[in-house]
Structure 1
Amino acid sequence: MNAIPDLFVGLCDDAAMFPPGNAPAARAVTAHREHRAAWYAPLVGPFLVGAAHLEDVVRAGDPGPAVLVVPAGPDGLAAVLAAARDAGLRVAGAELPYRPGGTAADAVRALDSVLPAGGVVEIPPGQGLDEALDTVAGSGHRAKLRTGGTVAQAFPDAAQVAAFILGCVARGLPFKCTAGLHRAVRHTDPVTRFEHHGFLNILAATDTALTGAGADEVAAVLEQRDGRRIASRLGDLTLPQVSAVRAAFTGYGTCSITEPLAELAALDLLPVPHPQIPEHA
């Protein structure tokens, strides 16, 4: 039996250098190499490199395939990509938002001009969602939803996340999530009191959307706080269902790789017995 079930292969993009982890480049790159060599390596997606991190990452050494995160949006993409390639970074893709006053079409055009494959467009929830999803769905790039941040307003509610998932599924548009998915299951942070979505909730909600369920049902799955119940449901998925879910929800950015690994083990979603989980991120 594989150490990492198919449902979780490549699920966790390594965002160690991003908040709230904010790991320095040398530590983040070293840890990523260790993750890539560990028994749980199939869980690990690409190394995410912010535009501001580029020089530090290059000095730290080759992290392997990397995805550039370009918060400046379409106008900043070409220069960051050129700098990354000139420095010898192995660029596997790029993620960018469209700026206030811009459109998803601006982001798609920027990606098409320098990176026809491997692009991700961050789409804000709410007004204009359908138009933005239509644009990205016809492009060959993926969509991205920001599911949290450092302020309460950065966390979309369950209805907004459900609308995004349903919109992507209806269009056959693969998507990823970023930020805020610190644990497997929905919870309230005891310090900030922020309501965090869970990455297992996203997986289960994606499966629910694929069955043709409506917005209320998908939102209810996102709001589920019973980890054992969600784990049981996901553990019962057939291989075709697993393939469909992961073709839709391709992964999420996390500042820790071992924390989601530990949560999967605690919910008996990894084969038992499994090797010891390291303590570092």
Structure 2
Amino acid sequence: MSTVPALLQGLFDDAAVFPPGDLPVAEAVPAHHAHRSAWYAEAVGPFLCGAGRLAELTGLAGPGLRVGLVLPGGSAELGPALAAAASLAPAGVQLVGVELTTRDAAEAVAALDLLLPPDVPAAVELPRELLHGDALDEVLDVLVDSPYRAKFRTGGVVAGAFPDETELAGLLTGCAQRGLPYKCTAGLHHAVRHTDPATGFEHHGFLNVLLAALETDRAAAAEVLAERTGEVLAKAVRELTDHQVTVIRNSFTAFGTCSIAEPLDDLAALGLLAPDSPSLEDR
């Protein structure tokens, strides 16, 4: 029986080469292979890689390196990046996802429809300044009529990159009301909402986001996102029904983290994940 509960399976996309981790590709790929062979392997998603660094995977991929292609330069990058990824397939690179940043959701959807292989999923990220009020509704309505997920940035290397709980609640509940899946990136290294003692940045917790994914009411979601007590969140996780877990993970599909160890350490400290413990569904 798996030691990784369904709530956590495939949740942690490996963004080790992105800030603030910035691990060299030559170190990050072997570390990823180690994660994928560890007892917690089912919790680990694909290796995230920017288009400009694909060539660095040559000779490192080994058998079946599952890669998520991150394209911050928009649709202009899509065709060349897909071709570059395809050229690495004989070396063991398996393209399992595309994350495309854009200022025009409809244009991004059209480009993905035209160029993306049918078996490769994609997520569309828009700048936060375009995700408010009527503009947010328009973006989500475009995506809900497509086969693609939304992608939300939940942090970064400056304080202004972190949405507060009310803003993030609006994004999550907008998706929940439409049945639109999403992934998150940046700032979710830890399980519980906290203030980073070194930077003073307010970080969302990934357990907060998982539990908030159940909510369709913005105020209720914001309240969950604001919770700072790990024991409260852990108790709520243990009380989730199988149906609620399915609803959560159909909504919040994954997040990129430059550290796989930090989320696992937090879960272990909360008693939610350990190599010799039963899965949450058996508790």
Kept in 2: contact 1:13–1:45 (CA 8 A)? yes
Change (3 A) 1:227 1:256: same
Question: Which residue identity does 1:162 align to in structure 2?
Answer: A
Query: Match of 2:253, SS?
Result: strand
Alignment of 1:218 with 2:235, yes or no, is no
Please list every run of at least 4 consecutive aligned residues from structure 1 whose deviation after the TM superposition is greater than 6 angstroms.
Answer: none
Matches within 5 A, 1:29-48: 29-48=29-48
- Quick one: which of 81, 92, 96 aligns to 2:96? 92
How many angstroms apart in 1 are the aligned matches of 2:59 and 2:2? 35
Query: Match of 1:60, SS?
Result: coil
TM-score (norm 2): 0.91
How many angstroms apart in 2 are the aligned matches of 1:61 and 1:271? 28
How many angstroms apart in 1 are the aligned matches of 2:248 and 2:272? 16
The RMSD of aligned alpha carbons is 1.6
**Other-structure match for 1:227:** 230
Kept in 1: contact 2:192–2:228 (CA 8 A)? yes
How many angstroms apart in 2 are the aligned matches of 1:272 and 1:14? 20
How many angstroms apart in 1 are the aligned matches of 2:126 and 2:30? 31
Query: Match of 2:58, SS?
Result: helix
**Other-structure match for 1:181:** 188
Kept in 2: contact 1:163–1:215 (CA 8 A)? yes
Question: Which residue identity does 1:9 align to in structure 2?
Answer: Q
Gaps of 5+ in 1: 275-281
TM-score (norm 1): 0.91
How many angstroms apart in 2 are the aligned matches of 1:270 and 1:182? 16
Question: Which residue identity does 1:83 align to in structure 2?
Answer: A
The aligned length equals 268
How many angstroms apart in 1 are the aligned matches of 2:184 and 2:269? 23
1:107-154 deviation digits (Å, cap 9, x = unpaired): 111111111440110133433111111111111111100000011111
Alignment of 1:260 with 2:267, yes or no, is no
- Compute the displacement of 1:27 (Å): 1.0
Gaps of 5+ in 2: 278-283
1:242-265 deviation digits (Å, cap 9, x = unpaired): 111101100100111121111111
Kept in 2: contact 1:123–1:129 (CA 8 A)? no
- Quick one: which of 232, 236, 243 aligns to 2:239? 236
- Quick one: which of 119, 123, 132 aligns to 1:120? 123
Question: Which residue identity does 2:79 align to in structure 1?
Answer: A
Kept in 1: contact 2:3–2:276 (CA 8 A)? no
- Compute the displacement of 1:51 (Å): 1.5
222-231 or 264-273, which deviates more: 264-273
- Quick one: which of 160, 163, 169 aligns to 1:156? 163
Change (3 A) 1:42 1:272: closer
Kept in 2: contact 1:14–1:32 (CA 8 A)? yes
Kept in 1: contact 2:40–2:275 (CA 8 A)? no
How many angstroms apart in 2 are the aligned matches of 1:219 and 1:86? 44
- Sequence identity, in percent? 51
85-94 or 180-189, which deviates more: 85-94
Query: Match of 1:265, SS?
Result: helix
Kept in 2: contact 1:96–1:121 (CA 8 A)? yes
**Other-structure match for 2:205:** 198
